[in-house]
Amino acid sequence: MSGEAAFHSADGLTYFDVVTIKDTCQYEELRGLRGHLAGHSRVPTDTSWSVFVFGPDMCWRLNREDFDPTGERLTEEDVMSDVHLRVSSKGELLG
């Protein structure tokens, strides 16, 4: 991830920036929630981001106009310290 972590969008956003989802977001269940930027489109004309939303703990693809940056930024260690996966002996994801 370190190579990707250097990415900055035209408006200065980068991975792990904490955002608040606006009340105008098309997904009502996300309005007012916070999350962090987890990825971006590689298409120059596409301004959408993958946002890992805290609470439901899910990634959503959101347009840039759907969220506001808070000015906070998580570290990669902050994000990875919360990852707990259970895997079977066959390599199947258990939850």
φ, ψ of residue 33 to 5 degrees: the values are -80, 165
Query: Residue 86 domain-assigned?
Result: no
Query: Residue 90 domain-assigned?
Result: no
Domain total for the chain?
A: 1
Q: Model confidence over 34-50: pLDDT tens digits?
A: 999 998 888 878 889 99
- Give the structural domain span for 34: 2-80
Mean pLDDT in residue range 56-77 = 90
Query: Residue 64 domain-assigned?
Result: yes
Query: Residue 33 domain-assigned?
Result: yes
CATH number of the structural domain spanning residue 73: 2.30.30.30
Query: Residue 29 domain-assigned?
Result: yes
Give residue 3's pLDDT: 46
Query: Residue 26 domain-assigned?
Result: yes
